[in-house]
């Protein structure tokens, strides 16, 4: 689900059909019911102009305890978190604490040169995967964070994958570095800044970057689930060696934000005003990056960009953690929003996204 361009092709093909082929109020209901029958566990929210048109939950908060999900349950967002990291960088820029084209070595000691913050934001840095390094060398009985990740990058210094700006390649390493740069530039903890600069001002009361201990204390936290050998869904944390969210549980930047669908809608709506940053700066987040050869890469600052949407500018992002699949889709020019949070690692949520998009344009 890294690229949703095929979604726009689907919607375009169906949008020319007569609306009589679809009962407007049934499109999403039927798709949601079918998803539940096929084992989907999660929350779907569809909104227009900030008004919720559809919000339902199906499945279990805990499969083992057979606790049913509710619409205000809290999920790990996985890589949907990257848009918050990018926002903190943009706020720092407006505060005069950094520039997008600053070299990374101005803030951090890394064994790579020629990489700018803009390269990190747009996944065009060419930096190697930190998770592979940690997986190979880290003692998984301990919990690592950004300082340890940076230390291992310096110690093992795997070669750069390509020259900065040469091409696009999704990089969690880049967003770990961005979080550390925000801390260096501001002199404050990244988690504290996320609360003070984003979550609290927007009234996102259920949203935070939580430690494993903090998550355990949240009664409505929807656990991620994976299937065991018998096909039963069990808490993903039980697969310790493969669940990097445990032994990389202190990392900041590429993930770890947990939230509700309703809080994400507050975030979505805040991007239409200048409560956090100016529209001029925000527009950079939604602008394709020009690679060294002059071609465009369609990833902005924490957002995937789709220039082919028949309904105007569409930006989105997916998330994928052990036991979780998440997505937010925004049709910016028409203020239409789709948010799906899943906690049993459904492989294909695109059918729900398709149904939600169709319902939005036939509501």
State pLDDT tens for residues 49-75. 999 999 999 999 999 999 999 999 999
- Digit-coded pLDDT (tens) for 281-333: 999 999 999 999 999 999 999 999 987 777 778 999 999 999 999 999 999 99
CB atoms within 10 A of CB 308: 13
CATH fold of the domain at 5-360:
Beta-lactamase (3.40.710)
- Digit-coded pLDDT (tens) for 142-175: 999 999 999 999 999 999 999 999 999 999 999 9
Q: Which residue is associated with the tokens 């809080």? A: 263
Domain positions in the chain = 5-360
Strand partners, 209: 257
Stretch 98-123: mean pLDDT: 97
Q: What pTM value is reported for the model?
A: 0.92
Q: Which residue is associated with the tokens 């840095």? A: 125
The closest alpha carbon to 257, from 167, 195, 310, belongs to: 195
- Digit-coded pLDDT (tens) for 86-96: 999 999 999 99
Residue 355 has pLDDT above 90, yes or no: no
| 240 confidence band (pLDDT: 50, 70, 90) | low
Residue 312, classed as helix, strand or coil, is: coil
Residue 259 has pLDDT above 90, yes or no: yes
DSSP state of 240: G
The closest alpha carbon to 351, from 56, 11, 63, belongs to: 11
pLDDT value for 363: 53
Q: State how far the Cα of 323 lies from the Cα of 346, in Å rounded to an integer.
A: 8
- Digit-coded pLDDT (tens) for 185-218: 999 999 999 999 999 999 999 999 998 889 989 9
Total number of residues shown for the chain: 363
| 79, 81, 171, 206: the active-site residue | 79
Lookup: tokens for 71: 């619409």
Cα distances (angstroms) measured from residue 319 to each of 83, 198, 278, 316, 331: 11, 20, 26, 10, 18
| 349 confidence band (pLDDT: 50, 70, 90) | confident
Least confident interval from 9-18, 107-116, 206-215: 9-18
pLDDT value for 151: 97
Q: State how far the Cα of 289 lies from the Cα of 117, in Å rounded to an integer.
A: 13
79 catalytic, yes or no? yes
| 23 confidence band (pLDDT: 50, 70, 90) | low
CB atoms within 10 A of CB 294: 6
């Amino acid at each position: 689900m890294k690229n949703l361009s095929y979604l726009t092709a689907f919607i375009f093909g169906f949008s020319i059909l007569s609306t009589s082929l679809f009962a407007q109020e049934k499109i999403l209901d039927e798709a949601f019911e079918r998803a539940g029958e096929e084992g989907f566990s999660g929350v779907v929210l569809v909104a227009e102009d900030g008004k919720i048109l559809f919000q339902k939950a199906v499945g279990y908060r805990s499969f083992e305890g057979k606790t049913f999900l509710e619409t205000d349950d809290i999920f790990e967002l996985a890589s949907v978190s990257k848009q918050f990291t990018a926002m903190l960088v943009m706020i720092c820029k407006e505060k005069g604490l950094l520039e997008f084209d600053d070299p990374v070595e101005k803030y951090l000691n890394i064994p790579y040169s020629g990489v700018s913050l803009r390269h990190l934001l747009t996944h065009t840095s060419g930096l190697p995967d930190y998770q592979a390094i940690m997986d190979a060398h880290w003692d998984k009985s301990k919990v690592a964070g950004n300082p340890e990740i940076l230390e291992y990058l310096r110690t093992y210094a795997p070669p750069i994958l390509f020259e900065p700006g040469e091409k696009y390649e999704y990089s969690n390493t880049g967003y770990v570095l961005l979080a550390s740069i925000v801390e260096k530039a501001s002199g404050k903890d990244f988690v504290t800044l996320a609360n003070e600069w984003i979550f609290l001002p927007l009234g996102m009361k259920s949203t935070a970057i939580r430690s494993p201990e903090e998550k355990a204390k949240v009664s409505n936290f929807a656990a991620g689930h994976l299937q065991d050998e018998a096909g039963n869904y069990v808490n993903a944390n039980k697969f310790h060696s493969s669940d990097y969210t445990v032994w990389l549980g202190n990392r900041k930047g590429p993930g770890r934000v947990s939230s509700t669908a309703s809080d994400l809608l507050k975030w979505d709506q805040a991007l239409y005003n200048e409560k956090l940053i100016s529209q001029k700066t925000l527009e950079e987040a939604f602008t394709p990056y020009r690679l060294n050869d002059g071609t465009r890469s369609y990833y902005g600052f924490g957002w995937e960009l789709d220039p082919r949407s028949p309904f105007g500018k569409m930006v989105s992002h997916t998330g994928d953690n052990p036991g979780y699949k998440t997505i937010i889709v925004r049709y910016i020019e028409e203020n239409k929003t789709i948010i799906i949070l899943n906690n049993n690692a459904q492989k294909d949520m695109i059918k729900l996204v398709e149904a939600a998009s169709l319902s939005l344009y036939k509501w």
